[in-house]
């Protein structure tokens, strides 16, 4: 492998990809979602989550058709490029990049918060930067090593969530879960319905980034393993998301958990006390869930930058692979630099009344929904324009399932714009600025590299 090579190595099997599908997302079961309780209450947020779960199930069952037909590290960018051309591809790719670059600093801050429970004198931001150093290095060392590590920590994270549910079961009560269950109802300016809609980004956080498997599809040994990984992944995540949310909300006054980055340890503390060995085990093993997503999303953003650089939507330097390990090390390091800046801005900035952590979760979701809408539109366009395109997997219930995903994504996007105008303005400024630079300096290829479409 030479320094100038632009072909990623094929070393991932179906089990690796399932671990990546779950691992990319599983930190969403550990933190971030509880901000939705502050917006909508437990019952309102339950309604929001059901709607978002339906959207993701329909989306993944449809998105998998694109991933297997066009196994490209660019994911949504590559599908839009083939369906609509280079300009639409830019918005799909840059939206995905925003999603994947801005999710890791939120997760890194949660890693710092979890470690601070165990080591009260530790600076959470310093711990977050340390996480970047460790997992950037691991990602540079090679995709098979990185994916094998991802699989191990993902399995441990799943076990830990099951342990959490088992340990807090004796303290669970539906009366606790439903008490004050409609948070928006006591705020006339928001209302119950407004609260449900305002909680959308935090319900999406339960599932955000599962589509990142598409960015590893080019490194799969065969596209045939992708559907098993995706479908198994979404079913696993659906079970964990509802289990964690219900059990955590039923152990006591859920309002104590609504605006913190470590809701699970605090929920367990209500049941077993602050000195219990179960609590310390949750803190330590709970880190595996955060690490799995943090590590996996670094893989995701680096492949997106790599694909955009290879197609000359970003500077070609992002498409350079390490001469020994064959990994896009320049892209890995660039995304880490953005994340570290965001970490140190967390205590200095609030946006529309939100902490920076909540705001960058919302920013990531804007990027994700943009990519989802364009991806479903690409699916419809390619069905019409390229009916003979080899499709190892075809979306079930076509056109109903992709149409449902497309419609729910549009509704979610509209609701988020309405309720997060300032964060949306930041998102639009980033997309607009990026597009302007692309039009001035970009040298986008009219077709993607042949090896990326094979």
Tokens read off for 247: 């059990």
pLDDT, one tens digit per residue, over 184-226 is 655 555 578 888 888 898 899 899 888 888 877 777 777 778 8
Query: Tens of pLDDT along 2-34?
Result: 344 555 566 677 788 898 889 889 988 987 888
Identify whether the C-beta of residue 298 lies closer than 8 Å to the C-beta of residue 282: no
Give me the pLDDT at residue 450, please.
44
Query: If 0-12 CB within 10 Å is exposed, 13-18 middle and 19+ buried, where does residue 139 land?
Result: buried
Assess contact for 20 and 147: CB atoms under 8 A. Answer: yes
Residue 449: band (very low, low, confident or very high) from pLDDT cuts 50, 70, 90: low
Report whether pLDDT(35) > 90. no
- pLDDT for res 370: 96
pTM of the model: 0.85
* Number of alpha carbons in the 13 Å side-chain half-sphere of residue 444: 20
**What value does the mean pLDDT of the chain take?**
85
Report the DSSP pairing between strands 350-351 and 354-355.
Answer: antiparallel
**Residue range 330-354, pLDDT digits in tens:** 999 999 998 888 887 755 555 555 5
**Can you tell me the distance from the alpha carbon of 151 to that of 292, in angstroms, rounded to the nearest whole number?**
8
Q: What is the pLDDT of residues 60-116, one digit of tens each?
A: 999 999 999 998 878 899 999 999 998 999 999 999 999 989 888 888 888 887 788
Inter-residue contact 111 to 27 (CB < 8 Å): no
Residue 186 is predicted with a pLDDT of 52
**339: which residues sit within 8 A by CB, 6+ positions away?**
101, 102, 104, 105, 108, 132
């Amino acid at each position: 492998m030479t320094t100038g090579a632009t072909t990623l190595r094929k070393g991932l099997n179906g089990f690796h990809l399932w671990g990546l599908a779950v691992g990319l997302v599983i930190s969403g079961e550990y933190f971030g979602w509880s901000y939705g309780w502050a917006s909508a209450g437990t019952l309102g947020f339950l309604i929001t989550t059901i709607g978002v779960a339906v959207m993701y199930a329909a989306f993944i069952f449809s998105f998998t058709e694109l991933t297997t037909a066009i196994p490209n590290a660019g994911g949504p960018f590559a599908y839009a490029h083939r369906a609509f051309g280079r300009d639409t591809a830019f918005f799909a790719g840059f939206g995905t990049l925003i999603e994947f670059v801005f999710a890791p600093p939120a997760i890194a801050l949660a890693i710092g918060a979890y470690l601070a429970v165990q080591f009260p004198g530790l600076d959470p931001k310093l711990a977050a930067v340390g996480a970047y150093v460790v997992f950037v290095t691991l990602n540079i060392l090679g995709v098979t090593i990185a994916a094998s590590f991802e699989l191990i920590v993902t399995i441990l994270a799943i076990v830990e969530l099951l342990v959490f549910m088992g340990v807090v079961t004796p303290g669970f009560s539906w009366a606790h879960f439903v008490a004050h269950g409609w948070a928006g109802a006591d705020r006339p300016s928001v209302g119950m319905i407004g609260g449900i809609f305002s909680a959308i980004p935090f319900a999406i956080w339960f599932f955000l980034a599962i589509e990142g498997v598409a960015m590893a599809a080019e490194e799969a040994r065969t596209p045939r393993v992708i559907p098993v990984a995706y479908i198994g992944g979404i079913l696993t995540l659906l079970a964990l998301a509802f289990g964690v949310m219900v059990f955590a909300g039923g152990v006591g006054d859920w309002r104590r958990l609504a605006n913190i980055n470590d809701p699970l340890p605090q929920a367990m503390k209500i049941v077993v006390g602050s000195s219990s060995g179960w609590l310390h085990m949750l803190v330590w093993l709970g880190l595996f869930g955060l690490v799995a997503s943090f590590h996996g999303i670094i893989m995701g953003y680096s492949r997106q930058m790599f694909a955009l650089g290879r197609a000359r939507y970003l500077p070609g330097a992002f498409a350079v692979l390490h001469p020994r390990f064959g990994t896009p090390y320049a892209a890995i390091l660039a995304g880490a630099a953005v994340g570290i800046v965001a970490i140190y801005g967390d205590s200095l900035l609030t946006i529309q009344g939100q902490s920076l952590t909540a705001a960058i979760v919302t920013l990531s979701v804007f990027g994700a929904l943009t990519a989802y809408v364009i991806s479903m539109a690409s699916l419809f366009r390619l069905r019409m324009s390229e009916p003979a395109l080899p499709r190892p997997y075809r979306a079930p219930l076509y056109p109903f399932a992709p149409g449902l995903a497309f419609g729910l994504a549009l509704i979610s996007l509209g609701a988020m714009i309405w309720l997060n105008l300032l964060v949306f303005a930041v998102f639009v400024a980033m997309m607009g600025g990026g597009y302007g630079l692309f039009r001035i300096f970009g040298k986008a290829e009219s077709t993607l590299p042949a090896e990326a479409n094979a």
